[in-house]
Amino acid sequence: MKSNIGKCRVLHLGRNNPLHQDRLGADLLESRSVERDLGVLVDNKLTMRQQCALVAKKANGILECIKKSVANRSREDILTSLLYSGEATFGVLCPVLGPSVQEGPPCPTAGEGTVEGYEDDQGNGAPLFLGKTDRPGSV
């Protein structure tokens, strides 16, 4: 696999010999003192503690956005989206959520069917993950 040397850069985080030229084979690599990657600024003038504080602040901001978006949705909306997306069936959610789920049909026991239209993968022994050869219509 070939690498694009034009996109390779060296980030000097140390304070020793900033004029040193790094090479990849016979090619000189571009040197930088500041780089932004994945939305996080890396700068050689910051200490490790300052770098960690910036990354933690960015991560906490993302987590806060996720928390607010989930808090604005009702429990029924979350359950409905899980059921209709196919990520979980009602029979799988019932044991996890316990008796607080009263809106839907009663929780089935092992071996019983689940909500109409959903297969009970655990009750009939069907594999949870289908390989390429196990999928219907695959060759």
* 106 pLDDT above the threshold of 80: no
Tokens 């910051």 found at: 46
Same domain, 29 and 62: yes
87 and 66 within one domain: no
pLDDT on residue 69: 74
Q: What is the pTM of this model?
A: 0.30
| Residues 63-104 pLDDT 10s | 887 777 777 767 677 667 666 665 555 454 454 444 444 444
Q: In angstroms, what is the C-alpha Rg of the chain? A: 26
What is the band of 15 on the pLDDT scale with cuts at 50, 70, 90? low
* Alpha-carbon gap, residue 105 to 91, rounded angstroms: 10
Residue 20 has pLDDT above 50, yes or no: yes
39 and 88 together in one domain: no
Angle at 87 between CA 85 and CA 91, to 5 degrees: 110
The answer to whether residue 135 is domain-embedded is no
In a domain, 35, yes or no: yes
Higher pLDDT, 90 or 18: 18
Does any domain span residue 29? yes
| Residue ranges making up the domain that contains 13 | 7-71
